[in-house]
Amino acid sequence: MIDPASDRERLIRLKEESGVDRVWLSHWHEDHIADLDLFDDVPLWVSEADAAPLSDIELFLDAYGMGGDFRDEWRNTMKHQFHFKPRTPERFLKPGETLDLGNVTVDVISTPGHTPGHLSFFFREPNVLFLGDYDLTRFGPWYGDRDSNLDEVMASVEILKQMSAEVWLACHETGVFEKEPGDLWDDYIGVVSRREQRLLELLDSPKDLEQIIDAGIVYNRPGAREPFFRFGEAAIMAKHLERNIRKGVILHQNGCYVRA
């Protein structure tokens, strides 16, 4: 079982009727572990770099960079909506290793950026590539965690883009691709460039962080003023600001950001 967080009743039936030998995680995010509690008695495998947030709710919230009242709200959400329970992996999935499961051989592919230890999987015999959260959605990549890395996201997308397969499995929206994704890869990673360009245009005049969040560059849709979306907006914009400050493209002066 990879990333148990879909149809809870179906997962219960699969466990009871078919059995589950082990659970693998592509990464630690809540929408990939929501039903992990059903498999308390099943060995858990995950990358070492993504193991810590699973071990403690406070470490989980730290990894997102959550603070203030929203941290308290999200702690409650994790316990009740996503059934969070601390887990210790039985084994770490090692990037680059090949696992023989008897009737199928699986290559473990390191694809960091979304999270530090995000993994993808290539199932050799059926020629299936599991993309995890490099999901080819119109929203584009997420890289708003404390330890997310935008440059690594772009490098990981390039790795996956170059791999050949017959079927591509992703974790959101379309999910199953039975032909070469082709231009979908460029559209997906192009979201990063479009966000950055809109940010630079916004910063033709100085703006503080609240004004940048209010511009809705990431979540430009109704309801995006809710705390969750404001948190996500701030998290992703922070990565773009940090990246462009390092490059000397954006300046941070007197509490405001401005295009150099």
Kindly list the domain boundaries of the chain, sorted by start residue.
1-93, 94-181, 201-259
Helix (H, G, I), strand (E, B) or coil at 130: strand
The residue assigned the tokens 């680059």 is 96
Q: 127, 178 in Cβ contact below 8 A?
A: no
As a whole number of angstroms, the distance between CA 112 and CA 109 comes to 9
Q: What is residue 228's predicted lDDT score, i.e. its pLDDT?
A: 86
Chain centroid to Cα 150, Å, comes to 12
Across 160-178, average pLDDT: 97
Q: How confident is the model over 218-223, as a mean pLDDT?
A: 74
| CATH code at 94-181 | 3.60.15.10
What is the rounded distance in angstroms from the CA atom of residue 57 to the CA atom of residue 229?
A: 21
pLDDT at position 216 is 93
d(CA 62, CA 68): 12
Confidence (pLDDT) at 223: 53
pTM for this prediction: 0.94
**pLDDT tens-digit series, residues 70-80:** 899 999 999 99
